[in-house]
A and B are shown apart, each in its own frame.
Chain A
Amino acid sequence: MSAIIRLKNINKTYYNGAPLHVLKGIDMEINKGEFVSIMGASGSGKSTLLNILGILDNYDTGEYCLNDVLIKNLSETRAAYFRNKLIGFIFQSFNLISFKNAMENVALPLYYQKMGRKTRNKLALEYLDKLGLKEWAHHMPNELSGGQKQRVAIARALISKPQIILADEPTGALDSKTSAEVLEVLKKVNKTGMTMIIVTHESGVANQTNKIIRLKDGVIEKIEDNSEHKFSNFSVENIK
């Protein structure tokens, strides 16, 4: 099986004030179509890792290959291109543009692919329909519930048909019922063959994924196979 993501000895230090060595040599491979969760204590470096995977942030040393392309020292323009083509990012805080309605938000990645307005709005409506939000297409983000916002964000992540979906605590701001719904959507998307990596605190969410990567103090503590979905609450060690 071909690895879509290959990390070799990734190190990342923040230099705001006292240097903070956050990622201390991360090695991992994720294959096409995998459904992976990353767990770990607060401050263990989960978001940092995901941001590097999403080319939103850079790393200091090591090698990150995405789709067999070395992602290192890219120009912002090139990084933008890869983000647009290869990556769909889902944020805990949704990150919708407040003055655009749901449809326009979903269509925005296609604007940066130079797609015409009519075509991209039509496509955006299709994706919103898939996520059960057709009626809400012309609503502004502040008129939507948390779950609806996150589904709009998912539609936006999906519309450019990326290679991987990265989600940083996608259910973190949602109640349990809505969380379950959103997770259902993500599972469905994974079923279509989309590689998906979810950072989460919730063992219930992690248990839905097929592989759990445990991060501790900037290193991978262990990688568990969870294809049986037998993850039990007893092994929760991230709640401190």
Chain B
Amino acid sequence: MDPAWDEFIITGEPFILAGQIAILVTTIGIIFILTYFKKWKWLWNEWITTPDHRKIGIMYIIASLLMMIRAGVDAMMMRTQLAAPNMPFLGEAQHYNEIFTTHGTIMIIFVATPFLIGLMNVAVPLQIGARDVAFPFVNNLSFWTFFWGAMLFNISFVIGGAPDAGWSAYMPLASNDLSMGPGQNFYLLGLQISGIGTLATGINLVTTIIKMRAKGMTLMRMPMFTWTTLITSLIIIGSFPILTVALAMQTFDRLWDAAFFTLQDGGMPMMWVNLFWLWGHPEVYIVILPAFGIFSEIITTFARKRLFGYTSMVFAIAAISGLSFLVWVHHFFTMGAGPMVNSFFSISTMAIAVPTGVKIFNWLATLHRGRIRFNVPMVWALGFIPNFTIGGVTGVMLAMAAADYQYHNTYFLVSHFHYVLIAGTIFGCFAGTIYWWPKMFGVKLNERLGHWVFWLFMIGFNVTFFPQYFLGLDGMPRRIYTYFPEDGWFSLNFLSTVGAYMMGFAFVLLVYNMYYSYRYEKRETSGDAWGGRTLEWATSSAIPPHYNFAQIPEVKDQDAFWQMKQEGVDPNGVEEYQDVHMPNHSGNPFVMCVFMFIGGFGLVFHWWTIGIIGALGIFACMIQRSFSRDDGHIVSAEEVRKEEAEIREGQANENG
């Protein structure tokens, strides 16, 4: 492919031009600031090359928030376009199609998934009393594959043109015959690159949780968030390879005419649909189970009670993860596979509602006889319960295949998955971020602003999506860029757009609160910001020292730290300090992933030379890593003792 210049750099669209200018200005701005304040070295040494799980987690969260801004702007543009019939806002269908495609793909792949992985990185090693994850080098590599994969996907809208076949990229629509240009290639290669990291993270976290728990932490004493992380990682290991293979097959179709899913030469488009949802349905559970875990942590902390029905919670998530591989056909009941097949998948899908229901009632029972405090993380968790329930019951309605023939592909479906994804995953990401914010930055987010954000966002969310159930029942399909006055969909759509702006405003306020709190809020003095129950709150300082625990605490209870506090045990009362073994920094993953980006970019445009340069670079990095000895380094007992003494001194000064 040799694109003409007008096909390479996208021109002639005012919004894209604005995007190009914004990218240019931001890039120049960042380079200027880093150079002016002499921060390049700091950035490289402290962040880019870090093996530290907490810092990697923070980078995941920041990158996900940036991606959320990008996809959120997409959402605002879509809602503006749909606010009234025949809106001229976006001009033509093509632009809208690109926007809804990038919105969906980014929100699932580059927001929900990495955001949760970021929170896992921050919290899980601390929760199990570990010093880091099992493979810190791989952890850094995972982050950079996500980051560079996301960059490759994101530049498509200014270079070459964005993909426009939907986040599900159905064939044959996404084939060369029906989707010209490199847009779809960006989707395939961007997702492929970041998928490597997700799979590696799954393996990394399973190993960490299985092998590195503190003494006394049996499986059935693990905190709920650790449990959901473990199960989620297992789902990742089971499902991401399917995506990898499916993406590779479509890539071969588009780059080398392999005809796996094409119209010609006996391709089977339906096979893509199956493979996509064989990954796609487990993926939606990958992004909800960790959120369930976060809510369990928060609800027990602020109701100040043990989790009700711990064992049944564990069995519920295990059941959900098993079932999540047995329901994929519910995404295409309308393919006409026959009444037996549809009946089977209707029932298996409805069965998922059972363990989900068990969880909802266990959370409710946890509130019973509690002493509930309404801190901001808690209001998000409490908001989750009723809103997610609405999403769940409409899921059951969709599961009834005969009825789904009427909901499928409509705004009813759109509303369902936003009720579960926003009220579940996004509420969970926000709640978790606010809850663990003091662990990351040593300061709480301002509570007054926080409550405003919650109410604006939650009300805006309902104003946006509740009307969409009715639009769906009135026959409005998803993914249309406009409609006609005769359709009678104006007022509900308008309402929906108003709600979307409310959510947008609330999000801006949330980001502002991060800045505001960093400037003005009181610093935390102890490691236990909320009266926590699990080990991440048992660290000696607000931001844990880089080795997490001077001495790994011994666990005697499900609520390990809470039990220590009950019995007056000081987890940091170390008698004899010992040497600590920590991983080394490495710039290798960053460089390797830059080569992935370069190679991917080459393939997008069929520029084989660049593709080969990328591949050679990747191999060179692998070889470099394979032949270098890296056993980490030892932090001596003396250094640990000094650092702990300093922490204690600092706390004494603050308090006195």
Q: Are A and B genuine complex partners?
A: no
